Amino acid sequence: MKIVFWGTPKYAAQNLSNIYNAGHEVIAVVTQPDRKRSRGKKVSPSPVKQVALELGIPVYTTQSISKDKTTIKLLNNLNPDIYVVVAFGQLLPKEILDQPKLGCWNSHASLLPVWRGAAPIQWSIINDDSKTGVCIMAMEEGLDTGPVIEQESTDISDTDNLEVLTSRLSNISSKLLVKALKNISKTKGLNEIDRLNELNAINQSEIIGNPSYARQIKKEDYLIDWSENSRTIFKKINGLYPNAYTIHHGKRVKITEAIYVDLNDQYINEQMKGKSINERISGEIIMVNQKTGITVMTNDCPIQIKYGQLEGKNRTDGYTLSIQSNISINNIIGN
């Protein structure tokens, strides 16, 4: 079965490696063009392209596949059996969807129909969902609307940031894709309807859950609003790891790890110096020390900044961050 793999980020690259290592024939890879991806702004290939080159798989890059008639023709000439799409980053036009004999199949990192769209992992954490997962679905012209043939869920814990959950979902995705490809390969000769029936595909209208859309993360989403409640801020820090940030003295300070403050902790109360929570304002620095890092007030209760990164510096612990950023008690951060 001749596979063309479509994908771009590290998440997809892990899937490509696992499909290849499982013995499947990947005849080509399609990915986004080389871009400035690192802190040093050097132009570099996508993680998927890097893996493909290491494996000796031909690579096609396209700025916009819907307008790229040359690449569309080249891919069609490969006479592919199947397209596998994992976080490619572009919608595939009908002209592409109709090419492979066994269809186009997408691995999507959510429990569809929840969180269709570009950033399902981020929004599942930010939204404080209790679980998420991976679905393997037949692709159609709608945005992540196709029938599902494989699904697996996983709980989201408070220790799961974007990096941790992405890695776990990538492993689940790889496993489900290997299983799905084996089953799809057995449907050669069937038409689309009979193929979906053979694979026990489930229409998303029959799956519990209301459709929702995980829009692309915007620059303004990363800025922390300290007037929100502590749970909202905590999940935002985890969901946008490692890039959620605040502003202090005109400089960007990333917050990469934070925890809740236990208001029953005797040490915390002693350090509050008799000023109650109700007398604090959002963004106020309540405490700074080596033991707890930076304690900052939100709309309802404080959180402790355990690790962060001042622009131009390396990631460090909260106390060192306070020194680097000139953050001290009674400062108001975020403006």
**Model pLDDT for residues 72-116, shown as the tens digit of each residue:** 999 999 999 999 999 999 999 999 999 999 999 999 999 999 999
Give the model's pLDDT for residue 253.
98
Mean pLDDT of 193-213: 95
Cα–Cα distance, 201 to 136 (Å, whole number): 10
Return the closest-CA partner of residue 181 out of 202, 163, 199. 199
Cα–Cα distance, 129 to 146 (Å, whole number): 23
Give the model's pLDDT for residue 145.
96
Is residue 322's pLDDT more than 80?
yes
Give the model's pLDDT for residue 209.
87
Tell if the pTM clears 0.85, that is, is over it. yes
Query: Taking the CA atoms of the chain, what radius of gyration do you get in angstroms?
Result: 23
**More confident call, 109 vs 276:** 109
Write out the DSSP string of 1-64.
-EEEEEE-SHHHHHHHHHHHHTT-EEEEEEEPPPEE-STT--EE--HHHHHHHHHT--EEE-S-
Mean pLDDT of 131-154: 97
Q: Say if CB 1 and CB 16 are below 8 A apart.
A: no
Handedness of CA 86, 89, 91, 93 (dihedral sign): negative
Given pLDDT bands bounded at 50, 70 and 90, which one contains residue 1? very high
Q: How many CA atoms lie within 13 A of 325 on its CB side?
A: 38
Q: Where are the domains of the chain?
A: 2-214, 220-325
Give the model's pLDDT for residue 292.
87
Given pLDDT bands bounded at 50, 70 and 90, which one contains residue 274? low
Give the model's pLDDT for residue 61.
96
Is residue 172's pLDDT more than 90?
yes
Given pLDDT bands bounded at 50, 70 and 90, which one contains residue 262? confident
CATH number at 220-325: 3.10.25.10
The rounded mean pLDDT for the chain is 94
Cα–Cα distance, 62 to 220 (Å, whole number): 28
**More confident call, 39 vs 123:** 123
Is residue 268's pLDDT more than 80?
no
How do residues 4-47 score in pLDDT, each as one tens digit? 999 999 999 999 999 999 999 999 999 999 987 655 568 899 99
Domain 2-214: CATH superfamily is Formyl transferase, N-terminal domain (3.40.50.170)
Cα–Cα distance, 61 to 6 (Å, whole number): 10
Is residue 315's pLDDT more than 60?
yes
Mean pLDDT of 160-173: 98
Q: Which residue has the tokens 């595909």?
A: 201
Mean pLDDT of 278-298: 91
Give the model's pLDDT for residue 105.
98
Given pLDDT bands bounded at 50, 70 and 90, which one contains residue 260? confident
CA 335 to chain centre: 28
Given pLDDT bands bounded at 50, 70 and 90, which one contains residue 259? very high
Cα–Cα distance, 242 to 212 (Å, whole number): 25
Given pLDDT bands bounded at 50, 70 and 90, which one contains residue 267? low
Q: Say if CB 103 and CB 3 are below 8 A apart.
A: no
Is residue 128's pLDDT more than 90?
yes
Report percent pLDDT > 90 for the chain.
Answer: 88
Q: Which residue has the tokens 């392209």?
A: 49
Is residue 273's pLDDT more than 80?
no
Q: What angle do CA 48, 182, 99 make, to 5 degrees?
A: 60
Report percent pLDDT > 70 for the chain.
Answer: 95
At 83, is the secondary structure helix, strand, or coil?
A: strand
Q: Say if CB 169 and CB 134 are below 8 A apart.
A: yes
Q: What angle do CA 214, 18, 3 make, to 5 degrees?
A: 85
